[in-house]
Structure 1
């Protein structure tokens, strides 16, 4: 299991950054860094299952492990989705955690990824673009 860390300073309060991360319209904007047309279905309540899709009905599904509004969101990735069908995977402790830390300049956004070796390059390539888009949306949207 590989542990990857990404962070960025955002000149906006945590509530704004949180809204950009999880509101449907802005989520669809920043996740274009991974796949154009990405969206999620489900609720973000702790213990619930969330399905992350591309426009072709493929993606992955995860359980919300932690949701502390404006502070932390953690997903445990459980499996893939192919043509709308869930396919469980044995990924172990494959997690994605978003942490928002308020500071004098606004918010430090951190993302911690626990991933298998096969996905490491994908995350290293895509995540810097994603958090840059989150920064731009957080600082420039009204």
Structure 2
């Protein structure tokens, strides 16, 4: 596993950034950097399972390890989904963590991904685009 870390300063409050990250309409917009039409199914309550999907019902499923509104969200990725069928994978500590710190005017968003070599280049290419989308949405649409 390798820990990748990305951060961006956003001229908006942590509450606005959080809304962009996890409210369904905005989530679909910023995650288009990964796959057009991305969405999630399930709840983001701690301990719950959530599916991250594309329009063909392919993607991955994860457990919500931590959800502290406007501050921190952590997922543990458990497996892949093909045509809606979950396939558990032995990814070990494959986590995806979002940390927000700031005030009413500015938020630092830090995204950390603990990933396998197989996905490293994908994340290095796509995450900077995705967090730029979050910045644009938080600063211009809310």
TM-score higher than 0.5:
yes
In structure 1, the residue corresponding to 2:43 is in which secondary structure? coil
1:1-142 map, 5 Å? 1-103=1-103, 105-142=105-142
Structure 2 Cα separation of the partners of residues 28 and 2 of structure 1: 27
Structure 1 outlier segments of 4+, above 2 Å = none
Contact 2:14 2:103 in 1 (8 A): no
In structure 2, the residue corresponding to 1:93 is in which secondary structure? coil
Deviations 1:40-60 (CA, angstroms, capped at 9, x unpaired): 000000000000000111000
Structure 2 Cα separation of the partners of residues 128 and 105 of structure 1: 22
When residues 54 and 72 of structure 1 are mapped into structure 2, their CA distance, relative to the original with a 3 A threshold, is same
User: How far did residue 105 of structure 1 move?
Assistant: 4.7
User: How far did residue 85 of structure 1 move?
Assistant: 0.2
Gaps of 5+ in 2: none
Structure 2 Cα separation of the partners of residues 59 and 66 of structure 1: 21
Deviations 1:71-96 (CA, angstroms, capped at 9, x unpaired): 00000000000000000000000000
User: How far did residue 117 of structure 1 move?
Assistant: 0.6
Structure 1 Cα separation of the partners of residues 39 and 104 of structure 2: 32
User: How far did residue 104 of structure 1 move?
Assistant: 7.5
* CA root-mean-square deviation: 0.9
Gaps of 5+ in 1: none
Contact 2:45 2:67 in 1 (8 A): yes
User: How far did residue 103 of structure 1 move?
Assistant: 4.5
The count of corresponding residues between Structure 1 and Structure 2 is: 142
TM-score (norm 2): 0.98
